[in-house]
Structures are given as C-alpha cells and as structure tokens.
Structure 1
C-alpha cells in the first residue's frame, strides 16, 4: 500500500513541486488549492506520469467551513495520511507599516496562520487514530529576522514557527512528528503575487544571484519525511549560497 501525502497550495510553486517529488517516488497524493483548473491538470499529470492515485480537493484554506467539509469527510481509502504539508501561504505587498493595506494584512493572516491551523486541526484525527503522522509546516527566513516593510508577513511566519513548536510539544504523546522548514529566496510565483502581478519588480528580487527553486524545497521536504521513525528534524533553515539570512544577500 502506497503512503499518502496531503499538500495544501499545490497548484504552483512549492506545493506543485512537492506533489511531483512524492508522486515520483510512489506516494499517493491529496492535493488542495483554489484554482480548480490547475489542480485538475496537476492531478492528471501525476496519475499519467507516475501511476499513483490522486485526490484533488478544491477549497481556500482561509475558509474554515470549506476546509473542514472537505477534510473531515475523506473516503476511507484516503484516511491513512502519513504526511501533511501545510504549504499554502503568500506575501502581499512590501509596504511601510503606515501605508500597508489592511486587506493585505487580513489575507496573509487568514491564509498563513489561520489556514494552517484549520487544516492541521481537520487532519489531526487521522493521525491520532493510529498514533502516527508527520506535519511539515512551510515557514520562511522571515520568521527568523524581521526586515523593513515585511511587518505582517514576517509576523505570520513567526507565528508558523511558534505554532510548529507548540504542535511538537502538544502532540508528543501521539508520536506525531512536526517539522518547520524555513526557505529563503526561492524563484517561484511568490514575488509576482507579492507585487500583485508586477513582473519587473518580481524579477528584480532575484537579480544578481542564483536563488533556490521550488524543486530544492521539495527535495528537502522529501528528505525530512523519509527519515527513520525515531528521527525528526524539528526546525530547518534553507537558503541559496548567496544568502545568509532574510537580511543579507550577496549580489555580484
């Protein structure tokens, strides 16, 4: 019987790369996202390329009722989830606290923090039922050092770090692993979303150095998920060679 991974935000970036990495290694995949067309296309691709089973679920992690409706009523054959990757997240704007949009703040908090909590809470009974499971939360180097004009995005990723620590403590009796992975600069749709479709601004973020790519993060998640039962990587920071932390990048 194949192992099962659940990946949120699987329509692009980290989530898509993670689903592809695990499917390529024989894992069945539950993939979630807001964009039905992209989710369906990925589902068909994974089945065709790797011969695994895929369950696509269309919902927005911000929507508490949609999350619980979808995840608490899984078909029996999908309830033996081995790994949950809380990947869905975003940055919106890079603005001074004085001028930043409150709507952007709400969206980041609702997605990056509340969405992660909703999905974790909905999936947890599948783990506790057999005292086994692994939650992998995608954080950011923004959780480690706050940078100018990062305000609420940095706050949400700091929350992801704190929630991961709390999950790790509270879920110990159930033998549930919790890993927080904190990527630095990665060339995905992230900056394009942050700058609301401004391709020139998004591209400029990565000028002068070689950033990570989504497949680097997928490989890291796969490594963490496939360690022996008694081994758990609790907290992992990953950057490209040109980056020291969220504040310091060498562009040459």
Structure 2
C-alpha cells in the first residue's frame, strides 16, 4: 500500500561526535524551578514532600530549530524566552511505571534549548481556564543545541544554565535547584505516556523569563558543556506578527 501523501521527514538534531537524533515527541515541564514558579504567580514548594504533581505540556516535533534562526511567530506581540535543559531518550521505556532511580538509564544525551512562549496567548488561555497550546506549541518554538552524549556530561547537579540576550545575562540557574530532577520527571511521565527512543524532555526554566524582539541575538549555555546561538528573525509568510 502506498502513502496518499509523501511521509514527512522527522526533525533531526546533530549529535556531538557523529550522527543525528530523530525527534519523536517533545515533552515539557512547567514550574520546575521555584524562583520561576514564584515569578509566574504560582506557589513554590518548600520541600520535596510538598511538590505535588509536575506540570506537563507538549510541543510538536517539527517545532525544533537547529540552526538558531527563529522567525518571530505570528499571532503574538509578547514572545518570551525560557532557557531549559534538554534530555534526549535513546531507549524505549519498559512497560509500566519507571522507577526514578532507574529512569536515567534511558537517557542518551543532553542539550540546551529554549521553550519559546507566546506569553499573551498563554495568559489569555489561563485567564479563561483553557489549554495553553497556542501559547506553547507553535512553529519554531523549540530551538535546541547539538546533543552531547550523557557519558560526556557527567553529574548534572554541578551544572548551570545561562541565557544572554544581546550580551546581557537574562537567566541563570543551577540544575541542583530543579524541583523534579531528570529521574523524577521520567518517572512521572511514565505514569501518563509510553516513553520511547527519540523523545525529548525540556526540563523547565529558572527565573528571569522575558520578551524577545526581532533582531535580538541569544546565547543559551549549559555551562561548560554546550551552547546554542541564534537570533529572532523577521516573521515568515503572510501572517501578522
């Protein structure tokens, strides 16, 4: 049986050393740094025992940007940056709920990315109790660096995230401050989804999120490991930004 239309080519991310990582699905974690939760007006847990449940949302796999060129999206006047650790899974999860201590054995590589957000659309949806999809899951909303194999990264707790816009530091946070670490998040995701090789997880952002304008240059770093350089370009197509 032949396809009625050509099969879409999957998004692929370069892997340091050799090859590319085909993206199956993009999971994102909201409010995973206490300081960012507070700046967004949400309560932050005082301890792990008070964490409750993580907030998850998804982006389409073709939202990936690997060359750093991000057209300003249509439909918004308030595009925001959110720097995040990106986790790439290289193995399918076994059936059932993953144990948090074993979950990280699924991890193939790490990178750094931006969870770009149409903040005005997200805020309007929140105010009406509606889903965030239009604020989060749009074209070019997931710029990401090359991926670095996990064995070359080492302990995450020693690393920090830093985002500069036009040379000014906007965000900086230690991965030791994550409310839910990688193992915790994969454990929680496995309660809801069948995790597979090719999945990405954007792990949440520290405080300091803010607006981006056409012409802004950004440098996102997983300090000492990898960086993502890019810029916000003029909108594409005929829509109105």
The TM-score with structure 1 as length reference comes to: 0.28
* Greater share of helix: 1
Q: Greater relative contact order: 1 or 2 (C-alpha under 8 angstroms, separation 6 or more)?
A: 2
